[in-house]
Amino acid sequence: MLRASDLKLRFCTNETQATREKFVDKLQRLGFDISVPEVFSPPPAVVAVLKERSLRPHLLVYDGVLPEFDFVDKTNPNCVVIGDAAENFSYQNMNEAFRVLIGLEKPVLFSLGQGKYYKETDGLKLDVGVYMKALEYACDLKAEVIGKPSPVFFQSVLNDMGLQPYEALMIGDDLVNDVGGAQHCGMKGVQVRTGKYRLSDESHPTVTADGTVDNLAQAVDMILNQRGH
Amino acid sequence: MLRASDLKLRFCTNETQATREKFVDKLQRLGFDISVPEVFSPPPAVVAVLKERSLRPHLLVYDGVLPEFDFVDKTNPNCVVIGDAAENFSYQNMNEAFRVLIGLEKPVLFSLGQGKYYKETDGLKLDVGVYMKALEYACDLKAEVIGKPSPVFFQSVLNDMGLQPYEALMIGDDLVNDVGGAQHCGMKGVQVRTGKYRLSDESHPTVTADGTVDNLAQAVDMILNQRGH
């Protein structure tokens, strides 16, 4: 229905364990009409920042996302990029990332998200934000977070669509990263009661969604109805 | 010379990779006249706290220190204790500690020290404080630090000697943990220019030692001279 409308559509994810190609493959298999250029994720966003600032990263990321960094100069690193590295968050790999940072005159740490934990079929898993805090403390620095809820991330998507924030609406299940991040950037934010949604989100102390609906289909109905389609 | 004087002597360490027995063995081989009951380290201190508060720990510590917890009930844990676990700080072990904490109605985390990093022959290594910060962020809690510079730790040593803080003096190489910790507890603190000492310590923004000497021998001379021996 959104495709059939005249609305522009983009997909924003904090996925940092797979390339956009893999991510799109999976969604296509699930029946979504979606293509790689419509997907915005932290890895290509940080690659753009690295290029702009002539930075060469030491990577501590999940193996599956490494191809996103294929054409990035990684020799003689002058910054560190961490993603949701999961099993790669070993003591040895953390020490290596730490030694790169502490050896730099002006250490720069990029974190692909700042999540605390997420749920997998075999239980709760620590997310990248936890290891970001670890390295921040070790090196006495503040990481630059790339991805939702960073306003820079949302702005880059708006730029791609050629839209102003007030012309755009974000739909997501994560109140802080999706809804709050979008609102912080001047967009509207609607939360769906699926996935990460919790009942307590509807009385959150700092973020109030511009609307809350049961699922994506309802969100789409709401948008199209309000436009009079 | 201290032994020959009428002064009481205790040894305070944040060592959490070995039992006090191993630690004393090593110092004896190096020529120190030292015995186990004179050594105060975080593991027996936390064992006392656990007993007092009827807490059963999930342990994330170095294998070598496990014997200190031999007689502690570790079934159905209702708190987490982390030490300098080194290689044991794997992603899997961190997830396990996290799941114990997040599953508790009132999560309690004890951290055996809060150091950022230390130096070994093969390079800098991340210390327990870094992983403490990681779990604090993941679970939205504040850890209870056991060991230097905690005033409770210094007070327990003073209690053992039957002394008031103003009657005691601490000698150490770590300005914040040794000197600052002792001063915070009402003792005097003298820094030695060995080990962790850095030139910048002598102009530290918050901690000023009551004296700075080149090494332990000079510190002892100073103490005995001031007492007129």
Tell me the pLDDT tens digit for each residue of A100-119: 999 999 999 999 999 999 88
pLDDT tens digits, one per residue of A133-165? 999 999 999 999 999 999 989 998 999 999 999
* Average pLDDT over every residue of B125-147: 97
CB contact under 8 A, A135 and B137: no
Note the pLDDT of residue A119: 86
pLDDT tens digits, one per residue of B1-27? 999 999 999 999 999 999 999 999 999
CB contact under 8 A, A95 and B129: no
Q: Closest residue of B to A135, CA-based?
A: B130
Q: Tell me how close the Cα of B120 comes to any Cα of chain A, in angstroms.
A: 12
B123 Cβ under 8 Å from any chain A Cβ:
yes
Q: Closest residue of B to A99, CA-based?
A: B124
B133 Cβ under 8 Å from any chain A Cβ:
yes
Please, are residues B179 and B170 in contact by the beta-carbon 8 Å criterion?
Answer: yes
Note the pLDDT of residue B107: 97
B99 Cβ under 8 Å from any chain A Cβ:
yes
Residues in B closer than 8 angstroms to A94, CB to CB, are 89, 126, 130
Q: What is the DSSP letter of B120?
A: E
Note the pLDDT of residue B167: 96
CB contact under 8 A, A135 and B130: yes
pLDDT at B68 over 90: yes
Q: How far apart are CA A221 and CA A210, in angstroms?
A: 15
Residues with Cβ < 8 Å from B152, sequence gap 6 or more?
Answer: B45, B146
Q: Return mean pLDDT, chain B.
A: 95
Please, are residues B101 and B93 in contact by the beta-carbon 8 Å criterion?
Answer: no
Q: How far apart are CA A44 and CA A40, in angstroms?
A: 8
Question: Which two three-digit tokens encode residue A142?
Answer: 């503040």
pLDDT at A229 over 60: no
Reported confidence tier of residue A84, pLDDT bands at 50, 70, 90? very high
Measured at the alpha carbon of residue A131, what is the angle toward residues A127 and A133, in degrees to the nearest 5?
Answer: 115
CB contact under 8 A, A129 and B137: yes
* Average pLDDT over every residue of B155-160: 93
| Claim: this prediction has a pTM higher than 0.80 | yes
Residues in B closer than 8 angstroms to A138, CB to CB, are 116-117, 126, 129-130
Q: How far apart are CA A130 and CA B129, in angstroms?
A: 13
Note the pLDDT of residue A132: 98
Please, are residues B82 and B110 in contact by the beta-carbon 8 Å criterion?
Answer: yes
pLDDT tens digits, one per residue of B141-157? 999 999 999 998 999 99
